């Protein structure tokens, strides 16, 4: 397994991130434990979760499954760089009770203690803001985070689904407090969705954040969707493939990889690992075989001819605005 540094921190993390969003909702506890054991055995040490994962009626269940896995011992907790998130109301009935969601100081305090209890640990390596809170000032958010760092409950803070200017605003506010600020951004980024290249990734690079792409297979479209459709599968990707322009791109993508003897899902992950600023893509295996495929992608080296052809099939958004400066 290849490793890198998480943004401007001292944390060494694997170049593949184990996403646990399926644990509890689509993958039972025993199989979730087996996947985490296999990942750790193969050197994957960066695990990502969120306090709302686990299903609409059992929010928090995913963190509980990770906690029961830690409880098995064997140094599991010490070997893992653990990331979770805060933002949404996790009440099972979904009631928007005041101060039980978003990023107010009181909810951050309440949410981190609840996550620690479910996870069965006394600290979180990376505590991420799942979305932007447009109502709470950054001064309040960073004050709450600084308290948690002082208490030893978290080590670092990260963002998810932020625009470039959100990253700038957050870190400038942190700098005024002499706080560390954000160290990572978790964003939607893959071959078929490259808008993050315009502002989000340049902002992350400018402020020294690691980039952690989610949905690297674009909801399964980059995992051999047309081939699976012909074989009688397709599942959740069927509606998306009804878009003729996108279908043509995916078909060209699969044809290219068939010609080169490459697996679509593995290429999508390997491509992300060639992108500037990317720490590692998040994979969310439901079964062990999906993890094995992702592990192969980390060792896959794409030739210049393949990379050029991928750019032609899925062209990026073009140069970022800063490229037009005199």
Q: Per the domain annotation, does 326 fall within a domain? A: no
Least confident of 146-155, 239-248, 253-262, 265-274: 239-248
Split at pLDDT 50, 70, 90, the class of 235 is: low
pTM exceeds 0.85: yes
Least confident of 86-90, 96-100, 260-264, 269-273: 96-100
Q: Output the DSSP codes for 75-133.
A: THHHH-EEEEEE-S---TT----TTSSTT-HHHHHHHHHHHHHHHT-S-EEEEEESS--
Show the domain range for 183. 3-218+264-303
Q: Is the pLDDT of residue 234 over 60?
A: no
Q: Per the domain annotation, does 224 fall within a domain? A: no
Task: Tell me the mean pLDDT in the region 23-28.
Answer: 97
Q: Per the domain annotation, does 81 fall within a domain? A: yes
> CA triplet 314, 128, 90: central angle to 5 degrees?
105
Q: Which residues are catalytic?
A: 53
* Summary mean pLDDT of the chain: 94
Q: Per the domain annotation, does 149 fall within a domain? A: yes
CATH number at residue 299: 3.20.20.100
Q: Per the domain annotation, does 321 fall within a domain? A: no
Q: Per the domain annotation, does 313 fall within a domain? A: no
CA atoms 22, 25, 31, 34: torsion sign: positive
- Interval 69-83: pLDDT, tens: 999 999 999 999 999
Task: Tell me the mean pLDDT in the region 268-293.
Answer: 97
Share above pLDDT 70 across residues of the chain, in percent, rounded to a whole number: 94
Split at pLDDT 50, 70, 90, the class of 254 is: very high
| pLDDT of res. 163 | 97
| pLDDT of res. 258 | 97
Q: How many domains does the chain have?
A: 1
- Interval 84-120: pLDDT, tens: 999 999 876 767 788 889 999 999 999 999 999 999 9
| pLDDT of res. 238 | 59
| pLDDT of res. 105 | 97
Q: Are strands 3-5 and 12-14 parallel, antiparallel or unpaired?
A: antiparallel
Q: Is the pLDDT of residue 139 over 70?
A: yes
Provide the token pair at 222: 């980059």
The helix (run of H) or strand (run of E) holding residue 283 is strand 282-283
Q: Per the domain annotation, does 247 fall within a domain? A: no
Provide the token pair at 215: 């949905």
Split at pLDDT 50, 70, 90, the class of 237 is: low
Q: Per the domain annotation, does 24 fall within a domain? A: yes
Q: Is the pLDDT of residue 322 over 90?
A: no
């Amino acid at each position: 397994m290849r490793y890198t540094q998480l943004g401007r921190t001292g944390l060494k993390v694997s170049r593949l991130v184990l996403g646990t969003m399926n644990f509890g909702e689509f993958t039972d506890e025993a199989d979730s434990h087996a996947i985490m054991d296999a990942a750790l055995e193969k050197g994957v040490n960066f695990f990502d979760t969120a306090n709302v994962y686990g299903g609409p009626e059992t929010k928090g269940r995913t963190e509980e499954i990770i906690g029961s896995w830690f409880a098995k011992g064997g140094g599991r907790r010490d070997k893992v760089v653990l990331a979770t998130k805060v933002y949404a109301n996790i009440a099972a009935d979904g009631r928007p009770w005041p101060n039980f969601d978003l990023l107010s100081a009181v909810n951050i305090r309440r949410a981190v203690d609840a996550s620690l209890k479910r996870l069965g640990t006394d600290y979180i390596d990376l505590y991420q803001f799942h979305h932007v809170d447009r109502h709470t000032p950054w001064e309040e958010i960073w004050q709450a985070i600084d308290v948690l760092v002082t208490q030893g409950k978290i080590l670092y803070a990260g963002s998810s689904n932020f625009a470039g200017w959100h990253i700038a605003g957050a870190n400038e506010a942190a700098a005024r407090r002499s706080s560390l600020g954000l160290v990572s951004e978790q964003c939607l980024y893959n071959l078929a969705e490259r808008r993050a290249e315009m502002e989000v990734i340049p902002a992350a690079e400018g402020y020294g954040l690691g980039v952690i792409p989610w949905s690297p297979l674009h909801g399964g479209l980059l995992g051999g969707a047309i081939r699976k459709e012909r074989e009688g599968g397709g599942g959740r990707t069927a509606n998306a493939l009804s878009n003729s322009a996108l279908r043509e791109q995916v078909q060209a993508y699969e044809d290219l990889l068939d010609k080169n003897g490459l697996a679509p899902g593995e290429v999508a992950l390997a491509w992300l690992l060639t992108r500037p600023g990317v720490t590692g893509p998040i994979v969310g295996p439901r079964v062990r075989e999906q993890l094995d495929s992702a592990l192969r992608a980390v060792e896959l080296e794409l030739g210049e001819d393949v990379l050029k052809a991928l750019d032609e099939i899925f062209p990026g958004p073009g140069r970022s605005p800063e490229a037009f400066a005199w």
